Amino acid sequence: MKGIILAGGSGSRLYPITKVYSKQLALLYDKPLIYYPLSILMLGGIKEILIISDSDTIPLYKKLFGSGKNLGMKMNYAVQKAPNGIAEAFIIGEKFIGKDDVTLILGDNIFYGYLDFLYKAFESHKYATVFAYRVNDPERYGIIEFDKKNRAISIEEKPTNPKSNYAVPGIYIYDNNVVKISKNLKPSKRGELEITDVNKEYLKQKKLFVQKIGRGIAWLDTGTPHALLQAANFFGVIDERQGLKVGCIEEISCRKGFVDKKQFKKIISDMPKCSYRSYLENVLKEI
């Protein structure tokens, strides 16, 4: 399984921050926003990652992560010339994906809670797996309709009259056929290759598995300054109360065995004196 993080988009709702850099590089509590979706892939055991963004931002991601070798990973980078839709990521990433299955996560999507259901899906999925999360404002999302037996029967992008309150959050697990499907898509009225159309094709082929996400799982929106502040406060409380950091990729790399203790010490020693380093030094004492 390989992973793609789509970290593009104009981020217009976060202007003027995004006049300088991508919203996925905005500070969320004590680390860049992109650390959080990256940590989800890492916790699922995915070590080969492709970050897709615009030409101005890719150099910044390269500066942030480099080759990924220090984390025991392999980081790759590719440019999306224009925001042509989520599904274009599979066309851009065709060579990276090769013959493997792939999980795509949006660079501004954050999940928190007991996520074993997600990691099990990484291991055991067939064809295509997406998730359904109950929301109060379904008009903003791709919405899944279920029959009386709880089977997905339709998907509609930002419907005027939603058929349910279950939205598809920004993480998608596909087999290798997703590349071919994406190549055969036609742009929507918005001029984009829609991820909803990919899911519709899998549904048409009866190869789409949809898993409802139950209570206790947070899917956080970071698309506005207020939402970004709320998410930062959320993780700040966890840090303050439990002394645990969420989305700490260096800690995850060590605990998942991507690097050994000696390599972990090197990661820490290369950091300047700061609270983030102090946290990792405490982690080192525990392992």
* pLDDT tens digit sequence for 163-181: 999 999 999 999 999 999 9
Given a cut of 80, is residue 10 above it in pLDDT? Answer: no
Q: Is 276's pLDDT higher than 80? A: yes
Q: Exposed (0-12), middle (13-18) or buried (19+): which is 202, by Cβ within 10 Å?
A: buried
* Residue with tokens 């997703």, as numbered in its chain: 178
Residue 125: is its pLDDT beyond 90?
Answer: no
Q: Tokens at residue 12, please?
A: 């217009």
Let me know: does 76 contact 52? Beta carbons within 8 Å: no
Q: Is 80 left (phi over 0), alpha (psi -120 to 50) or beta?
A: beta
How large a percentage of the chain has pLDDT more than 90? 82
**Within the chain, which residue ranges are assigned CATH 3.90.550.10?**
2-247
The dihedral formed by the CA atoms of 136, 141, 145 and 150, expressed in degrees to the nearest 10: -70
Per-residue pLDDT, averaged over 38-49, amounts to 97
pLDDT at site 231: 93
Domain 2-247 classification at class level: alpha beta
| Residues 83/8, Cβ–Cβ less than 8 Å | yes
Going by pLDDT thresholds of 50, 70 and 90, the confidence category of residue 17 is confident
163's CB contacts (< 8 A; 6+ apart) are 143, 145, 154, 156
